[in-house]
């Protein structure tokens, strides 16, 4: 899409240049015919002008292709961040979501319907998920989805909490995301992010007592399997309505 816009602009510029040149060229020819002056300063023939502009246009496209990074058209929208709502600080990042200040998230309220979003509430295990999915076209100022996660079980035996967020292509089932585990500080987290047009987001939460956390730390299990050591797990699938 980015390249198409650049090419379109170049084509429009070329069209304007040729149109202006054609008008000047025909005016000059008509003036010479009326004055009977055949020895005046000649302009470049219009067909040659078309060829010259076409060559310049092709060279410009080659330069744009060479200078603009390929990543400008391949950066995925699939990204999310985990925010601690007690102090609105970032706990984890995924993909190109990397900001220093999470205070903007205070603008969102989990107990209220937000304009432009569809709200739903899901309970799984000892976790309560309040999910907002955007019902408007994506933009740079509004996340595609928000998910407030509240642990509703007994927090006295909780040593750590984990999250496992995965984006999944609805056609290929290919997944990609990140996992993290950390000290249990707050019972409510906010997962906020964006997704590609044909993606969905799966979120699995886990809480660990001291023994489970120590066993995981000692094990060689991959992060994707950390929930095997949790004493309580909750999961939700977030997708467009």
Instruction: Encode pLDDT of 203-218 as tens digits.
Output: 999 999 999 999 988 9
Kindly state whether residues 88 and 201 are assigned to the same domain.
yes
Residues 112, 41 share a domain: no
Q: How many helices (H) and strands (E) does the chain have?
A: 4, 10
Q: Which of 16, 40, 73 delimits the end of a domain? A: 73
**56 and 137 within one domain:** no
168 in the same domain as 157:
yes
Domain boundary, last residue among 26, 58, 73 = 73
3-state helix, strand, coil in the chain (%, to 5): 35, 30, 35
Neighbours of 131 (CB within 10 A): 23
- Domain span at residue 187? 76-238
- Model pLDDT for residues 131-175, shown as the tens digit of each residue: 999 988 887 778 899 999 999 998 888 999 988 888 888 776 666
**DSSP class of 10:** H
Strands across the sheet containing 117-124 = 89-93, 79-84, 188-194, 145-151, 127-134, 117-124
Which class for 212: exposed (0-12), middle (13-18), buried (19 or more C-beta within 10 A)?
Answer: buried
Same domain, 171 and 69: no
Shared domain for 94 and 207, answered yes or no, is yes
Looking at the fold, whether 15 and 82 belong to one and the same domain comes out as no
Dist CA 218 CA 149 (whole Å) = 27
Last-in-domain residue among 73, 90, 119:
73
Tell whether 55 and 146 lie within a shared domain: no
Question: Which residues, listed in sequence order, are joined to residue 25 by a DSSP beta bridge?
Answer: none
Whether residue 63 sits in one domain with residue 179: no
CB crowding 149-170: b at 16 or more within 10 Å, else e: bbbeeeeeebebbbbbbbbbee
What total number of domains does the chain contain?
Answer: 2
Q: Looking at the structure, tell me whether residues 57 and 155 fall in a common domain.
A: no
Q: What is the pLDDT of residue 205?
A: 92
Prediction pTM value = 0.64
pLDDT one-digit tens code per residue, 83-141:
888 888 777 776 555 556 677 777 788 888 888 899 999 999 999 999 999 988 887 77
Of 2 and 218, the structure prediction assigns the larger pLDDT to 218
Q: Mark whether 59 and 123 lie in a shared domain.
A: no
């Amino acid at each position: 899409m980015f390249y198409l816009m650049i090419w379109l602009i170049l084509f429009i510029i070329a069209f304007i240049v040729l149109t202006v040149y054609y008008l000047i060229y025909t005016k000059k020819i008509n003036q010479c015919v009326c004055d009977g002056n055949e020895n005046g300063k000649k302009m470049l023939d219009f067909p040659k002008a078309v060829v010259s502009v076409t060559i310049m246009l092709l060279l410009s496209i080659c330069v744009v292709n060479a200078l603009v990074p390929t990543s400008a058209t391949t950066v995925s929208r699939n990204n999310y961040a985990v925010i601690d709502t007690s102090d609105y600080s970032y706990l984890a990042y995924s993909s190109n979501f990397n900001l220093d200040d999470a205070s903007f998230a205070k603008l969102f309220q989990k107990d209220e319907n937000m304009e432009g979003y569809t709200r739903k509430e899901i309970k799984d295990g000892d976790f309560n998920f309040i999910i907002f999915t955007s019902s408007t076209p994506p933009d740079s100022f509004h996340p595609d989805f928000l998910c407030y996660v509240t642990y509703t079980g007994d927090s006295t035996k909780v040593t750590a909490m984990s999250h496992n967020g995965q984006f999944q292509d609805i056609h290929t089932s290919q997944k990609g995301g990140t996992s993290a585990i950390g000290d249990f500080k707050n019972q409510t987290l906010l997962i906020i992010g964006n997704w590609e047009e044909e993606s969905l987001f799966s979120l699995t939460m886990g809480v660990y007592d001291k023994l489970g956390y120590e066993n995981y730390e000692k094990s060689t299990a991959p992060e994707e399997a950390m929930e095997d050591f949790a004493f309580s797990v909750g999961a939700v699938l977030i997708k467009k309505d």
